[in-house]
């Protein structure tokens, strides 16, 4: 996490404490008012909606983990050649996926649960149990869904389709709520539809089993027991049914790499070294399955603001400021991944390093490829925004470029020599870089929305984002 | 009248590189143009470190490197323009086809597109890759990947070709194709510098052989000259390169531990 330098361990620890404190403060502002909520219908409806929203994200995460377990060779040969029953090994593997999904979920939910415990009492500790149960169920469904894809469309297509399905599942529920909120209430708030009188009136009665998870979160011991038992049964069933043939599916998945993909042929095109580098980066990015799923997810998350934009066409555009931070955040997130693939994920480092081109020029070409890619993806939305509010479009466009440039700069500071296939490990190989990217994107998104509103307070989040970049330069391995 | 001076493709003087101990220790190496030079040595002798410094992948701690008269440390871009490097692990792009890979390399080396395309097609034909020219490399075997990487090293017609164990993991057919292409390049006036642990290859292909041990050049010359250096040519007779090599490295003094 500290890229190998001890003296940065202290800095990283302090940064983590600050981040945890910030998250708890944020949680305080969001869930503090609900700490003493009871099991009335509006609360149960809202709680259940939030659990479904979280569940879809957990399912998405679990599908990513299961897909990785199928398509990574690592120790598969050793397992299948050993005297240990593959069924036992893969049972443990599925259980481990469930465990890791649940652990991550509990970690992310911990600020909110801790605040509720502090303000509303120990009953809220039951929420940890519900989150863990949701992780187990998500893993079970993820295994079932992936195996179903295997049997329906075969291992060759499952890899990409599973990633796309994971992205869509993760985004669909969230976006669906936002779309309903926009159409009904003109707001991007995901909770608006959950608090509607229509929904509360038409929801099942208080004694419905549908509210069991929500009751469990609110501290009902009986409900918690039933939810936990049900999740263990579901996970147990998944392990019993799918562990038997897990090894067969994983072996079939490894054969996918032997398939032939042909490209259209055309003659050599004359290019300068910089243009050749950019073209290579763009070609590889376009053919990267991660990029397909991530771009789809970013585009899906942009649908609600695009819908809001379309609905507001012709109006003053003041309501459109909510579109700006969403777009800027999306740009920052996407740019971070593209930058890692271009800068650190160089599969032929010796070739590039021995080419007759200055090393600085190589880096410039890779950065151009990233920023150019971001510009191509986000230009249409910014242009559409310009028809409604030129100021918002200008601020949004600038915010997109600055967020993308910041994410790229962070990747430059923490660049490593890795293969593109190791992309999924990027967030664990340097957590400082991961957090810095997130904070930077949030800072620039905050600055953009305030600037688009015409407020001078935009300076504060901008200064914070710049501070993040400055801190990154100080702690980066390249400065040691 | 004296013999005209042979052009020098590579000259290192006092080349040094140190990690925990000297990896390359005051190495003076001279390789002539149009020569097939094989660099041999036991594991950890400094062969790869030496060649990586020559290729511009590592900075030496001391010494000079001149490639075809160009100071490679002062003007690395000019030196790299006429140099090609191929490592033992073929590093290519899984999601590019061989054709696209060669187009990329041609762009990096600023080779005219028409000339490069012709060269690329010839190389793919010679290396038996023509049928796979427009297939993505992700499905290729190790031998095919190595041949694609070799084609990339040759497409820009380098004067000096540096190869670090290029035949590792290749089947007999692929190895034969690689050797034939390298011989053809030397015949056309290029210089090949190759490390290998397959001594039969060095014995059959190399014009001169250099033996490195403990970061120093301990012997250099034709196979016959190396046999004479061991002082055992009368005893061993027409000793193989393996016998000669083992005799030479067995006598090489180790660097004192620090």
Q: What is the ipTM of this complex?
A: 0.90
pLDDT at A442 over 60: yes
> According to the per-residue pLDDT averaged within each range, which of A94-98, A253-257, B15-19 is highest?
B15-19
- Which residue in A has a C-alpha nearest to residue B79's C-alpha? A356
Contact present, A349 and B57 (Cβ < 8 Å): no
Q: Nearest-CA distance from B244 to chain A in Å?
A: 33
Per-residue confidence (pLDDT) for residue A309, from 0 to 100: 60
Per-residue confidence (pLDDT) for residue A49, from 0 to 100: 82
DSSP annotation of B135 reads B
- Chain A hits for B110, Cβ within 8 Å: 272-273, 356
Determine the average pLDDT of the residues in B40-46: 89
pLDDT at A354 over 60: yes
List CB contacts of B219: < 8 A, sequence separation 6 or more.
B210, B211, B226, B229, B248
- Chain A hits for B80, Cβ within 8 Å: 354-356
Contact present, B13 and B69 (Cβ < 8 Å): no
User: Of A15-19, A372-376, B89-93, B138-142, which range is least confident?
Assistant: A15-19
CA atoms within 13 A on the CB side of A312: 24
Determine the average pLDDT of the residues in B17-46: 92
CA angle B86, B88, B90 (to 5 degrees): 70
| Cross-chain CB nearest to B57 (options A271, A353, A358) | A353
pTM: 0.75
pLDDT-based confidence at residue A149 (cuts at 50, 70, 90): confident
* Interface residues of chain B, partner chain A, Cβ below 8 Å: 55-57, 77-78, 80-81, 83-85, 87, 91-97, 99-100, 102-110, 112-114, 116-117, 120, 133-136, 138-139, 152
Average pLDDT, chain B: 88
Per-residue confidence (pLDDT) for residue A433, from 0 to 100: 85
Determine the average pLDDT of the residues in A190-198: 66
Per-residue confidence (pLDDT) for residue A417, from 0 to 100: 83
Per-residue confidence (pLDDT) for residue A407, from 0 to 100: 94
Map residue B93 onto helix, strand or coil: coil
pLDDT-based confidence at residue B255 (cuts at 50, 70, 90): very low
C-alpha closest to that of A448 among A376, A387, A380, A385:
A385
Determine the average pLDDT of the residues in A38-53: 83
pLDDT at A210 over 80: yes
Q: Nearest-CA distance from A353 to chain B in Å?
A: 6
Per-residue confidence (pLDDT) for residue A67, from 0 to 100: 77
Calpha distance A279→A284 (Å, rounded): 9
pLDDT-based confidence at residue A453 (cuts at 50, 70, 90): confident
DSSP string over A335-393: HHHHHIIIII--S-HHHHHTSSS-HHHHHHHHHHHHHHHHHHHHHHHHHHHHHH-HHHH
Percent over 70 (pLDDT), chain B: 92
Which own/partner contact pairs does A373-379 have at CB distance under 8 Å and 24+ positions apart? A373/A282, A373/A285, A373/A338, A374/A331, A374/A334, A374/A335, A374/A338, A374/A400, A374/A401, A374/A404, A375/A400, A375/A401, A377/A295, A377/A298, A377/A331, A377/A334, A378/A327, A378/A330, A378/A331
C-alpha closest to that of A74 among A363, A335, A424:
A424
Average pLDDT, chain A: 81
C-alpha closest to that of A246 among A94, A142, A61, A137:
A94
Calpha distance B49→B59 (Å, rounded): 10
Determine the average pLDDT of the residues in A32-54: 82
Mutate to test the interface with A, among B54, B57, B81, B103 (most CBs of A within 10 A): B103
Per-residue confidence (pLDDT) for residue A273, from 0 to 100: 94
Question: pLDDT tens across A426-440, in order?
Answer: 666 677 888 888 889
User: Of A152-166, A295-309, A419-433, B187-201, which range is least confident?
Assistant: A295-309
Question: pLDDT tens across A74-132, in order?
Answer: 566 666 666 666 677 778 888 888 888 888 888 888 888 999 999 988 999 999 999 99
Calpha distance A362→A345 (Å, rounded): 14
Calpha distance B40→B197 (Å, rounded): 7
pLDDT at B139 over 80: yes
Contact present, A336 and A407 (Cβ < 8 Å): yes
Identify the residue with better confidence: A225 or A185. A225
Per-residue confidence (pLDDT) for residue A262, from 0 to 100: 72
Buried b (16+ CB within 10 A) or exposed e, A192-225: bbbebeebeeebeeeeeeebbbbbbbbbbeebbe
pLDDT at A194 over 80: no
- Chain B hits for A288, Cβ within 8 Å: 95
Determine the average pLDDT of the residues in A455-473: 89
Mutate to test the interface with B, among A260, A356, A418, A419 (most CBs of B within 10 A): A356
Identify the residue with better confidence: A28 or B150. B150
pLDDT at B118 over 90: yes
pLDDT at A4 over 70: no
Q: Nearest-CA distance from B16 to chain A in Å?
A: 20
pLDDT at A55 over 80: yes
Phi, psi (deg, nearest 5) at residue A402: -70, -40
Determine the average pLDDT of the residues in B40-58: 93
Identify the residue with better confidence: A130 or B245. A130
The overall longest dimension of chain A from CA atoms, in Å, is 74
pLDDT-based confidence at residue B17 (cuts at 50, 70, 90): very high
Question: pLDDT tens across A387-409, in order?
Answer: 888 988 999 999 999 999 999 99
Determine the average pLDDT of the residues in A11-32: 78
- Chain A hits for B91, Cβ within 8 Å: 347-351
| CB pairs A-B closer than 8 Å | 114
Contact present, A211 and A203 (Cβ < 8 Å): no
Per-residue confidence (pLDDT) for residue B132, from 0 to 100: 93
pLDDT at A137 over 50: yes
Determine the average pLDDT of the residues in A263-267: 76
DSSP annotation of B4 reads P
List CB contacts of A379: < 8 A, sequence separation 6 or more.
none
Question: pLDDT tens across A214-237, in order?
Answer: 899 988 999 999 999 999 999 999
pLDDT at A62 over 50: yes
């Amino acid at each position: 996490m500290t890229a190998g330098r001890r003296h940065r361990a202290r800095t990283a620890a302090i940064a983590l404490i600050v981040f945890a404190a910030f998250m708890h403060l944020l949680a305080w502002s969001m869930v503090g008012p609900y700490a003493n909520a009871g099991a009335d219908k509006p609360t149960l409806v809202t709680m259940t909606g939030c659990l479904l929203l979280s569940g879809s994200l957990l399912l998405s995460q679990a599908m990513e983990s299961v897909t990785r377990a199928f398509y990574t060779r690592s120790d598969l040969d050793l397992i299948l050649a050993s005297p240990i029953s593959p069924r036992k090994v893969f049972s443990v593997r599925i259980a481990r996926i469930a465990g890791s999904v649940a652990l991550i979920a509990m970690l992310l939910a911990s600020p909110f649960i801790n605040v509720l415990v502090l303000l509303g009492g120990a009953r809220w500790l039951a929420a940890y149990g519900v989150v863990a149960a949701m992780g187990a169920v998500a893993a079970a469904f993820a295994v079932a869904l992936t195996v179903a894809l295997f049997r329906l469309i075969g291992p060759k297509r499952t890899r990409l389709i599973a990633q796309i399905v994971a992205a869509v599942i993760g985004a669909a529920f969230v976006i669906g709520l936002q779309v309903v909120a926009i159409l009904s209430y003109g707001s991007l708030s995901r909770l608006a539809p959950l608090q509607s009188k229509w929904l509360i009136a038409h929801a099942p009665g208080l004694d419905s089993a549908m509210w069991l998870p929500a009751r469990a979160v609110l501290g009902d011991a009986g409900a918690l027991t039933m939810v936990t038992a049900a999740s263990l049964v579901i996970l147990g069933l998944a392990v019993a049914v799918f562990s038997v043939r897990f090894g067969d599916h994983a072996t079939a998945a490894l054969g996918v790499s032997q398939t032939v993909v042909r490209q259209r042929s055309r003659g050599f095109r004359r290019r300068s070294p910089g243009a050749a580098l950019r073209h290579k980066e763009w070609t590889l990015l376009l053919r990267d399955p991660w990029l397909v799923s991530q771009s789809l997810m970013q585009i899906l998350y942009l649908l609600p603001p695009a819908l809001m934009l379309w609905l507001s066409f012709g109006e003053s555009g003041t309501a459109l400021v909510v579109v700006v931070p969403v777009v800027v955040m999306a740009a920052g997130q996407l740019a971070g991944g593209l930058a890692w693939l271009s800068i650190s994920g160089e599969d032929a480092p010796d070739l590039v390093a021995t080419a007759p081109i200055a090393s600085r020029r190589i880096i410039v070409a890779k950065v151009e490829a990233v920023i150019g890619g971001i510009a191509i993806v986000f230009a249409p939305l910014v242009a559409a925004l310009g028809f409604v509010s030129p100021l918002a479009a200008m601020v949004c466009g600038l915010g997109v470029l600055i967020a993308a440039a910041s994410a790229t700069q962070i990747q430059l500071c923490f660049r490593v020599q890795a293969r593109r296939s190791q992309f999924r490990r990027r967030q664990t190989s340097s957590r400082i870089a991961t957090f810095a990217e997130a904070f930077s994107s949030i800072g620039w998104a905050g600055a953009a929305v305030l600037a688009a509103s015409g407020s001078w307070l935009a300076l504060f989040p901008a200064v914070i984002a710049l501070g993040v970049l400055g801190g990154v330069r100080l702690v980066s391995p390249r400065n040691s | 009248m004296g013999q005209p001076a042979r052009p020098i493709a590579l000259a290192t003087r006092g080349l040094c590189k140190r990690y925990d101990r000297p990896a390359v220790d005051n190495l003076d190496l001279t390789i002539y143009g149009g020569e097939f030079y094989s660099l041999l040595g036991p594991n950890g002798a400094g062969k790869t470190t030496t060649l990586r410094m020559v290729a511009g992948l590592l900075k030496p701690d001391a010494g000079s490197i001149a490639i075809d008269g160009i100071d490679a440390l002062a003007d690395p871009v000019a030196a790299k323009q006429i140099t090609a490097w191929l490592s033992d692990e073929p590093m290519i792009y899984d999601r590019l086809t061989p054709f696209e890979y060669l187009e990329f390399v041609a762009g990096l080396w600023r080779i005219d597109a028409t000339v490069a395309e012709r060269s690329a097609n010839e190389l793919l034909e010679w290396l038996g890759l023509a049928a796979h020219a427009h297939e993505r490399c992700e499905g290729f075997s190790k031998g095919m990947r190595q041949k694609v990487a070799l084609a990339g090293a040759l497409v820009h017609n380098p004067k000096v070709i540096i190869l670090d164990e290029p035949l590792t993991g290749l089947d007999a057919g692929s190895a034969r194709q690689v050797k034939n292409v390298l011989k053809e390049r030397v015949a056309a006036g290029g210089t090949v510098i190759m490390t290998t642990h397959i001594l039969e290859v060095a014995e059959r292909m190399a014009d001169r052989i250099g033996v490195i041990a403990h970061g120093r050049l301990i012997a250099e010359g034709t196979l016959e000259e190396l046999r004479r250096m061991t002082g055992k040519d009368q005893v061993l007779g027409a000793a193989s390169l393996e016998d000669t090599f083992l005799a030479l490295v067995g006598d090489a003094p180790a660097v004192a531990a620090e």
